[in-house]
Structure 1
Amino acid sequence: MIYAIGDIHGQAAALDRALALIETDGGPDAPVVFLGDYTDRGPDSRGVLDRLIDGRDAGRPWRFVMGNHDRMFLRFVTDGAQNDDRIKSGLSWMNRRLGGTTTLASYGLRSREGAAFLHTNNGGRETLSSYDIDGRRLGPQELVIAAREAVPEAHIQFLATLDLWVADGPLLFVHAGLRPGIPIERQDPDDLLWIRQGWLEDTRDHGPLVVHGHTALDHPRHYGNRVNLDGGAGYGNPLVPVVFEGRESWTLTPRGRVPLRPD
């Protein structure tokens, strides 16, 4: 038996409720796999990382997969990178649609006026020009320095050491999905973090049942060859944990288990 939680996106209170449901069903030492996107959009990315790190350090049998938002946050704090080549719109991580501003706010870097951007001719890539903090406009490098000072080293190390995938018996846990027909050891990390096209529409048997998130739905859904656990918590939906026994699965609710069966 193993439990899984999809994209959290800074929703610390929702994480607490999901963990309470898991503990009620499986006890305090229940094994859990977290599918990434711990940060961005929601109000308390810092609180989410604190809870996950505290659980790990307390010896909980928890395993953690990296999400694309986690990598964007890590790259911004460590390298000042604002963009990812897999974002075809060219949006900066600091754009509200991606949620970097709420993540920085959870570390005390709150803005009243928000970000100002430049748009380059390189495919329309959006680049931060300045950011307001407490009435003071910071340039991009100044903001990166402020972020490095605000984000605890333990958080940076946690993000830097996340797994790209976790295998457990008949299950394979990954953030976004995989490139069909390619062994997991040869997968492009960018696909594991970002893939949609060529993955979501593929109906073939991948061997293990693939459990993933990344593509937001209104509720976890079972497709037969894969299970998508991103129930849209980043957009205000409940965070719904799922328990697996072999390839069978159930969502957890305050009323108990509800079968999660293939469509």
Structure 2
Amino acid sequence: MSRYATTDLHGCLHTFRHLVEEKLRLTPRDELYLLGDYVNKGPDSRGVLDYLMQLQASGYQVQCLRGNHDQALLDAARHRWRWDWLGPRGRLPTLRSFGVARLSDVPPRYLDWLAALPYEIELPDFVLVHAGYNFALPPAEMRQDYSAMLNTKKFVYDPSRLGGRRLLHGHVPTPTAQVRAKATTHPGALGLDTGCVYRHNPELAHLAALNLDTWELTLAANCEPAYAIGKR
């Protein structure tokens, strides 16, 4: 049995399937943790959600938490919030993948699945969250600050506030070589977002999966059919 974590799929279904089926060769005995942002920006948000649901329904131990883009899709679909902050390049591929003109027409089963996602996952040795925590708050409040957990881009890691456990997160695209180098040091906090969706950027454009027991980092290069994406 192996335990893996990866993050920020952003509609990159082909790359995620390649990671799961060819690189990790995931079995039902393994555990796979996803740290959020399954949708938006990339070409096939619906396909990613379908695949995650299929894995779970087939008996694979796949646990997913929510990211800020998952929350944004959910809010826009259910509350009719304007979604201008993402821009057409991020919004239109998502709509196309669901075959709808408005987010309010996204089928309910996808919205229900997103709405059930937790904000964090606790393991005996790790805490998993999408973005991070506001460690300046008292521990109980820190873990109720959902805005920070979904959106923060900077924090000062304090293991005492997580019961001594290490922290894994996504959210901030980081050069693949930098993540690989940091993983070798077994740090207290590690970001795993290697910017897979940014297919034009050679420093990013990968999914990174960390083996939680060996600290081995498995990389899958973006292998999606060509799609429009802003450079980062």
Q: What TM-score, normalized by structure 1, do the two folds share?
A: 0.71
Deviation at 1:29, TM superposition (A): 3.0
Alignment match, 1:2: 3
Task: Indicate yes or no: 2:185 matched with 1:229.
Answer: no
Could you tell me whether the CA contact under 8 Å between 1:41 and 1:234 is conserved in 2? yes
The partner residue of 1:95 within 87, 94, 101 is: 87
Taking the aligned partners of 2:50 and 2:12, their CA distance within structure 1 comes to 12
Change (3 A) 1:159 1:54: same
Change (3 A) 1:178 1:186: closer
Q: What aligned pairs does 1:54-133 form with structure 2 within 5 A after superposition? A: 54-82=54-82, 92-96=84-88, 99-109=90-100
Deviation at 1:21, TM superposition (A): 4.4
Letter paired with 2:76: F
SS in 2 for 1:234: coil
Letter paired with 2:12: Q
Task: Indicate yes or no: 2:198 matched with 1:241.
Answer: no
Deviation at 1:203, TM superposition (A): 5.2
Alignment match, 2:107: 152
* Structure 2 residues not aligned, in runs of 5+: 200-204, 221-232
Could you tell me whether the CA contact under 8 Å between 1:36 and 1:64 is conserved in 2? yes
SS in 1 for 2:159: coil
Could you tell me whether the CA contact under 8 Å between 1:73 and 1:100 is conserved in 2? no
The partner residue of 1:183 within 139, 142, 154 is: 139
* Structure 1 residues not aligned, in runs of 5+: 84-91, 110-142, 255-263
Structure with greater proportional helix content: 2
Deviation at 1:253, TM superposition (A): 4.8
Change (3 A) 1:6 1:184: farther
Could you tell me whether the CA contact under 8 Å between 1:22 and 1:30 is conserved in 2? no
Greater radius of gyration (CA): 1
Taking the aligned partners of 1:184 and 1:13, their CA distance within structure 2 comes to 39
SS in 2 for 1:41: coil
Number of matched pairs: 203
Query: Where do 4+ consecutive residues of structure 1 move more than 4 Å?
Result: none
Identical aligned residues as a percent: 27
